[in-house]
A and B are shown apart, each in its own frame.
Chain A
Amino acid sequence: EAGVAQSPRYKIIEKRQSVAFWCNPISGHATLYWYQQILGQGPKLLIQFQNNGVVDDSQLPKDRFSAERLKGVDSTLKIQPAKLEDSAVYLCASSISGTYNEQFFGPGTRLTVL
């Protein structure tokens, strides 16, 4: 079974530029999550999708971050414009449904904002 795929693995940009991350969840998983993991901290949920609808985006900085999950499969997370404090690893995870089912994590995208 293929795992959660993410790209790119690494990205370096300058502040005020825009960047996009892509995630393809495990086939058949209805729930998709985006987490931000700042160095030295645990992951923090940014947004959760159930199929193509948003379940929770309470911690998403909506003035600069956006995410979509068209057709309820893969997803894109965008930052525009980026700030220095956005430097982090962005993790995508998926689960069969939005309960206590195990979340499977992708390898993450490491973003450095200069």
Chain B
Amino acid sequence: AQSVTQLGSHVSVSEGALVLLRCNYSSSVPPYLFWYVQYPNQGLQLLLKYTTGATLVKGINGFEAEFKKSETSFHLTKPSAHMSDAAEYFCAVSEMDSSYKLIFGSGTRLLVRP
């Protein structure tokens, strides 16, 4: 079965600093990969996704992620953190069966210091 590991349950950065949230997955075949963001008391919102094609994927709010098959990673980055980026971020992989269900990591809470 596929699984997702997010390193670091909490990441703290200063406003304007680089944001790096790590995600590794296990899969026997090339997966579909996703990053979702969850603000307090809200549902999840899709930031970006990788299905096929270009391995560097750009998403909303200045985020991007790179699919590295050799490292089984899909890390999320943003060059300059903004206070509004403070939220919980979830990496997910899609099961490649009839359901295409999402398997989520345990999440990383991003704290942005002024």
Q: Is the CB of B100 within 8 A of A44?
A: no
Q: Is the CB of B44 within 8 A of A100?
A: no
- Asked if B41 CB lies within 8 Å of chain A CBs, one says yes
The minimal Cβ–Cβ distance linking A82 to chain B, given in whole angstroms, is 22
- The residue from A56, A102, A107 contacting B43, defined by CB atoms under 8 A apart: A107
Q: Is the CB of A40 within 8 A of B106?
A: yes
Instruction: Please tell me the size bucket of the interface on A.
Output: 20 to 34
Instruction: Please tell me the size bucket of the interface on B.
Output: 20 to 34
- Chain B residues with Cβ below 8 Å from A91 are 43-44
Q: List 5 A-B contacts (CB under 8 A).
A: A33-B101, A41-B107, A42-B90, A43-B44, A43-B102
A residues adjacent to B (C-beta < 8 A): 4, 33, 40-45, 48, 55-56, 91, 93, 98-100, 102-103, 105-108
9 closest cross-chain pairs (CB), A and B:
A42-B104, A105-B43, A56-B99, A105-B44, A100-B32, A45-B101, A55-B99, A107-B43, A102-B46
